[in-house]
A and B are shown apart, each in its own frame.
Chain A
Amino acid sequence: MTTTFGVLRFPGSNCDDDALRAVDVVLAPAGSRGRIIWHKDRSLGDVDAIILPGGFSYGDYLRGGAIAAHSPIMDAVAEFAAGGGPVLGICNGFQILCERGLLPGALIRNESLRFECRDTHVVTSGRQTPFTRGIAAGAVLRMSIAHAEGRYVHPDPEALWRAGQVVFRYATPAGEVSADANPNGSVLGIAGICNEAGNVVGLMPHPERACEAVLGGGGQDGRAIFESALAGGGAA
Chain B
Amino acid sequence: MATGKLEITAEVASEHGLTRDEYSQVERALGRTPTLCEVGMIGVMWSEHCSYKSSRPHLKTLPTRGDKVIQGPGENAGAVDIGDGQAAVFKMESHNHPSFIEPYQGAATGVGGICRDVFTMGARPVALANALRFGALTHPKTPHLLRGVVAGIAGYGNAFGVPNVTGDVHFSRCYDQNILVNALCVGIAPTDKIFRGTASGVGNPVMYVGAKTGRDGIHGATMASAEFGEGAEQNRPAVQVGDPFMEKLLLEACLELMQSDALVGIQDMGAAGLTSSSVEMAARAGSGIEMDLERVPQREADMSAYELLLSESQERMLMVVERGREHEARAIFDKWDLDAEVVGRVTDTGRVVMRMQGELVADLPAELLAEGITYERRTARPAYIDAARVENPAPSAAGDAPRPDEALVSLLGAPNVTSKAWVYHQYDHNVRTSTVLRPGQADAGLVRVIAPSGREKGLGVALGGQSRLVYLDPYEGSARAVAEAYANLAAIGAEPLAVTDCLNFGNPENPEIMWQLAESVRGLGDACRALGTPVVSGNVSLYNETDGVAIYPTPMVGMVGLVADLRRHAGSALPEAGLEIAAVGELGGSLAGSEYQSLYLGRACGAIAPFAGARDKAVMDAVRTLVAEGLVEVAHDVTEGGLAVAVAECAVSGGAPGGVSIDLPETEMSDEALLFGEAPARFIVAYPPKARDAVAARAKALGAPITPLGQCGGDRLRVAIAGDQRRGFDVPVDEAREAFFSGLRDVTA
Contact = CB atoms under 8 A, between A and B. Distances in A.
Contacts of A21: 433
A18 B441 contact: no
Contact of A56 (B245, B426, B437, B655): B245
Contacts of B437: 216
Nearest to A206: B430
B567 A214 contact: yes
Contacts of A118: 425
Interface in B333-349: 335-337
B161 interface: yes
A59 B434 contact: no
Contacts of B438: 216-217
A115 B154 contact: yes
Interface stretch (A9-17, A44-52, A129-137): A9-17
B652 to A, nearest CB: 17
A117 B429 contact: yes
A87 B248 CA distance: 25
Contact of B425 (A61, A117, A206, A216): A117
A118 B430 CA distance: 9
B298 interface: no
B428 A208 contact: no
Interface string B240-273: 0001111011000000000000000000000000
Give the one of A14, A209, A217, A218 with max B CB within 10 A.
A14
B516 interface: no
A117 B248 contact: no
Contact of A215 (B159, B425, B436): B436
Q: How large is the interface on A (under 10, 10 to 19, 20 to 34, 35 or more residues)?
A: 20 to 34
B430 A216 contact: yes
B430 A59 contact: no
Interface in B404-453: 424-438, 441, 448
A208 B433 contact: yes
Contacts of B655: 217
A214 B430 contact: no
B494 to A, nearest CB: 15
Contacts of A117: 158, 424-430
Interface residues of B, number: 37
Contacts of A14: 159-161, 248, 431-432
B560 interface: no
B428 A214 contact: no
A218 B432 CA distance: 13
Contacts of A211: 433
A96 to B, nearest CB: 15
Given A56-B159, A114-B426, A12 B248 contact: yes
A55 B433 CA distance: 13
Contacts of B425: 114, 116-118
Interface in A52-93: 54-56, 58-61
A214 B435 CA distance: 9
Nearest to A208: B433
A212 B655 CA distance: 19
B456 interface: yes
Interface string B157-175: 0111100000000000000
Give the one of B436, B437, B655 with max A CB within 10 A.
B436
B158 A115 contact: yes
Contacts of B699: none
Nearest to A114: B426
Given A12-B159, A117-B427, A146-B158, A56 B244 contact: yes
Contact of A116 (B155, B249, B337, B426): B426
A199 interface: no
A144 B159 CA distance: 17
A53 to B, nearest CB: 11
Contacts of B244: 56, 59
Contacts of B428: 115, 117, 146
A127 to B, nearest CB: 27
A11 B433 contact: no
B59 interface: no
B433 A215 contact: yes
Contacts of B424: 117
Contacts of B609: none
Contacts of A40: 335
A11 B334 CA distance: 12
Interface in A3-27: 11-12, 14-15, 17-18, 21-22
Interface in A210-225: 211-212, 214-218
Contacts of B154: 114-115
Contacts of A59: 159, 243-246
A33 to B, nearest CB: 17
Contacts of B159: 12, 14, 55-56, 59-60
Contacts of A116: 425-426
A3 to B, nearest CB: 20
Contact of B431 (A15, A22, A60): A15
Contact of A144 (B246, B430, B567): B430
B158 A11 contact: no
A146 B162 CA distance: 12
A12 B431 CA distance: 13
A56 B431 CA distance: 12
A215 B436 CA distance: 4
Interface in B136-164: 151, 154-155, 158-161
A59 B243 CA distance: 8
A214 B432 contact: no
B218 interface: no
Interface in A98-131: 114-118
Nearest to A11: B249
B733 interface: no
A7 to B, nearest CB: 13
Give the one of B431, B432, B437 with max A CB within 10 A.
B431
A212 B158 contact: no
Nearest to A113: B151
A212 to B, nearest CB: 7
A215 B434 contact: yes
A58 B154 CA distance: 17
B245 A18 contact: no
A148 B155 CA distance: 9
A62 to B, nearest CB: 12
Contacts of B434: 215
Contacts of B337: 11
Contact of A55 (B161, B243, B427): B161
A47 B160 CA distance: 28
A208 B243 CA distance: 27
B433 A212 contact: yes
A61 B245 contact: yes
18 contacts: A11-B245, A12-B248, A14-B160, A14-B161, A56-B245, A59-B245, A60-B159, A114-B154, A115-B158, A117-B429, A117-B430, A144-B430, A146-B428, A206-B430, A214-B448, A215-B434, A215-B436, A216-B436
- What are the 6 tightest A-B residue pairs by CB atom distance, in nearest-first order? A14-B161, A59-B245, A56-B159, A18-B433, A216-B438, A146-B428
Given A117-B158, A146-B428, A216-B435, 15 more contacts: A11-B245, A11-B248, A11-B249, A15-B161, A59-B244, A61-B245, A114-B426, A115-B158, A116-B425, A117-B430, A146-B430, A209-B430, A215-B430, A215-B435, A216-B437
